[in-house]
Amino acid sequence: MRAAPTILHLDMDAFYASVEQASKPSLRGKAVIVGGLGPRGVVATASYEARRFGVHSAMPMGQARRLCPNGAYLIPRFSLYRQVSDVVMALLRELSPLVEPLSLDEAFVDLEAGGVAFDARSARETGERLRADIRAATGLSGSVGLAGSKMLAKVASEEAKPAGLLLIEPGTERELLAPMSVRTLPGVGPATGEHLRRAGITTVGELAEAGEDELVRMVGRSAGAGLYRMALGLDDRPVVAERDAKSVSVEDTFDVDLHDRVRIRGEVQRLADRCVRRLRESGHSGRTIVLKVRRYDFSTLTRSETLRGPTDDPAVVREAAARLLEGVDTTGGVRLLGVGVSGLADYTQEDLFAQSLAAEPDGSDGTDGSGKPEGSEGTGGTDGADRTDGADGAGAGAVAAGTAEVEAEGVHGAAEPPGEPEPAPERRWQAGSDVLHAVYGPGWVQGSGVGRVTVRFERPGSEPGRVRTFRVDDPELEPSDPLPLVGDDPEGRP
């Protein structure tokens, strides 16, 4: 614990949804829900307008639609979120060399290490200036917490939401924490919270009064001691500037369980390619290839294979993932597939050495590799960065956050007889995805169905745009990259 509130925690407000509202003028002030749009999709972020209807993150998308039937439901666009996150993180690094990102929209900053704050007054001034700079640079709002420890700074930013700042003066921690729910404390999830509730402990104050010995008896030595320290507001963890990624992974949850073994192999190959793209984007290679399969009954298998050296070769990763799939029984259907790479390095070996040492099963039916049953739909991603990569391609639904990618892929199957041309597959347009029309310019998909796609033509900073409808195979309409929320459009599009 520090004697001055010089640890800052920034948490952007409803980040994904706020970026969508800023880049789509017609959605400003309206309920926006971002996540997987398929029957098994999950809400990633909901705007504050949507939260008034009871919609919140991690909620099944079907339930969200029932609570807020008139909301705008969009797939995530991670490439745009990363662009905006880079701007925000650059502002944080202007304050201090010690910036610890937790995700695209959240980070700790050691203000004392940057020489910008040494007491409550200077810390508050720095926090207010940061919020104003973020607003000026991105048009978005963030909430700031300031305290003498990381735990309390995070609690403060949560209490400050939305678009506020809260500073916890050292010495007032216990008084502030006492009436709060035990769920306020980091690591206290639904299961632990319910366990404590049954013991008559619902607030942080009651947690402190229970004493360390009682908490150790209830939840074990390590967890009990940690809970007691948090209840007293004690936290000595430093702000760590670098958080090395441990793995890179992607996964898809499918609208309908997959039974066709050929289709399953094809999906694994696509996932392997996506995983390698993200691996290369992060500047890494890896030695261990991991396959994840969640079956129709929610039992989950994970299998891994370790290579002789790190690789970022898509062919090597595809082959390893295919070998791992051969050892998995998919009878009955598959609802989720994932491919990951761990044992990361910042260099690659020659292909000659990127051969398998052994297939190492690190999970069995219904386990996550540690012998513990896995829960509901998972997410894929890069540790310490965005953790979801969702679904793309035909038949793919969405995991917790989905993706912003739109891919017009062919239908896999037997070849047509000679002389008969293969029919062109119907193009898929997902709500929220970016498009470019040869005549009307950039826009975004509002919806599609019955062979038609509805597009609203607008761009960041414009007035709400006009809506037009086209055939799904209109040759003048193409998928597009997102327009930047900040700065000029590098392609000079109209």
Rounded to the nearest 10°, the torsion over CA 116, 119, 121, 122 is 0
Measured at the CA of 75, the angle between CA 22 and CA 300, to 5 degrees, comes to 140
Residue 142 CA to residue 84 CA, distance in Å, equals 13
Identity of the residue numbered 319: E
Please, which residues have CB within 8 angstroms of residue 209's CB and are 6 or more apart in sequence?
none
The counts of H helices and E strands in the chain are 13, 18
Please, which residues have CB within 8 angstroms of residue 475's CB and are 6 or more apart in sequence?
none
Nearest to 282 by CA among 48, 78, 471, 34: 78
Place of tokens 């398998």: 356
Pair 299, 331: CB distance under 8 Å = no
414: exposed, middle or buried (Cβ count in 10 Å: 0-12, 13-18, 19+): exposed
Q: Is 106 a catalytic residue?
A: yes
Widest distance between CA atoms in the chain: 82
Q: Catalytic pick from 106, 251, 267, 405?
A: 106
Nearest to 170 by CA among 149, 201, 139, 200: 149
| Cα–Cα distances in angstroms (integers) from residue 261 to residues 56, 80, 291, 331, in the given order | 36, 35, 15, 9
DSSP symbols for 285-328: EEEEEEEEEEETTS-EEEEEEEEEEEE--HHHHHHHHHHHHHTS
Residue 104 CA to residue 385 CA, distance in Å, equals 6
- The bridge status of strand 32-35 relative to strand 434-437 is unpaired
Q: Is 253 helix (H, G, I), strand (E, B) or coil?
A: strand
Catalytic residues: 106
